[in-house]
């Protein structure tokens, strides 16, 4: 009886060595026999989509706007404007920069003249939204993603 147990254990060890060796060489012996191996299945999530391209900017430059109240220049607003665009629209926006400068200046003269209060800082969110509307009217919708206003200053 002990001989039979010894023979069975030795055969199982040889079989385990053969299967392990085949796995080591990259062959799945259980798949060749039609046995589903739960360890060979990969439950890895699908790869993440590629990250969006980094934002592309067109530098508008310094926008200086006179604040006209009661028919005279009371203050002067200065801000650095950067236009966030799709990389494919960068050339079109850069070519139409003079049109945008004219439209932005015209609208900001009217807008800031009625909204600037003494002792209050410039509302950059409102100005950015307003400039987006003007840009969509001037260039058409979809050319700009966002307008970034840096260093707003009221002198």
Average pLDDT score over residue span 43-69: 83
Note whether 12 and 84 are same-domain residues.
no
Note whether 42 and 60 are same-domain residues.
no
Please tell me the predicted confidence (pLDDT) of residue 124: 87
Average pLDDT score over residue span 18-33: 75
Note whether 3 and 76 are same-domain residues.
no
Q: Using alpha carbons, select from 83, 87, 80 the residue that is nearest to residue 54.
A: 87
* Phi, psi (deg, nearest 5) at residue 146: -160, 160
Average confidence score pLDDT of the chain? 84
Concatenated DSSP letters for 85-109?
Answer: E-GGGHHHHHHTHHHHHHHHHHHHH
Average pLDDT score over residue span 48-75: 85
Q: List, for residues 117-149, the tens digit of each pLDDT value.
A: 777 888 889 999 999 999 999 988 888 999 999
Note whether 23 and 90 are same-domain residues.
no
Query: Total structural domains in the chain?
Result: 2
Which of 25-34, 38-47, 101-110, 142-151 is predicted with the least confidence, judged by mean pLDDT? Answer: 38-47
Please tell me the predicted confidence (pLDDT) of residue 134: 93
Note whether 72 and 44 are same-domain residues.
no
Indicate if the alpha-carbon torsion angle 110, 112, 113, 115 is positive or negative: positive
Note whether 83 and 146 are same-domain residues.
yes
Q: List, for residues 80-124, the tens digit of each pLDDT value.
A: 999 999 888 889 988 999 999 999 999 988 888 888 777 788 888
26 three-state secondary structure? coil
Q: What is the CATH number of the domain that holds 96?
A: 3.30.479
Residue 79 belongs to what domain range?
56-154
Note whether 68 and 137 are same-domain residues.
yes
Note whether 83 and 35 are same-domain residues.
no
């Amino acid at each position: 009886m002990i001989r039979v147990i010894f023979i069975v254990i030795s055969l199982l060890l040889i079989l385990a060595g053969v299967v392990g060796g085949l796995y080591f060489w990259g062959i799945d012996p259980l798949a060749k026999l039609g046995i589903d191996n739960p360890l060979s299945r990969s439950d890895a999530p699908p790869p993440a989509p590629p990250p969006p391209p980094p934002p592309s900017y067109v530098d508008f430059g310094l926008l200086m706007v006179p604040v006209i109240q009661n028919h005279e220049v009371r203050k002067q607003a200065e801000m650095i404007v950067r236009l966030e665009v799709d990389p494919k629209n960068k050339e079109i926006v850069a070519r139409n920069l003079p049109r945008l400068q004219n439209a932005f200046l015209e609208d900001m003269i009217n807008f800031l003249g009625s909204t600037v209060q003494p002792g209050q800082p410039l509302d950059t969110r409102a100005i950015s939204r307003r400039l987006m509307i003007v840009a969509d009217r001037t260039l058409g919708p979809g050319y700009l993603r966002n307008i970034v206003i840096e260093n707003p200053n009221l002198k």
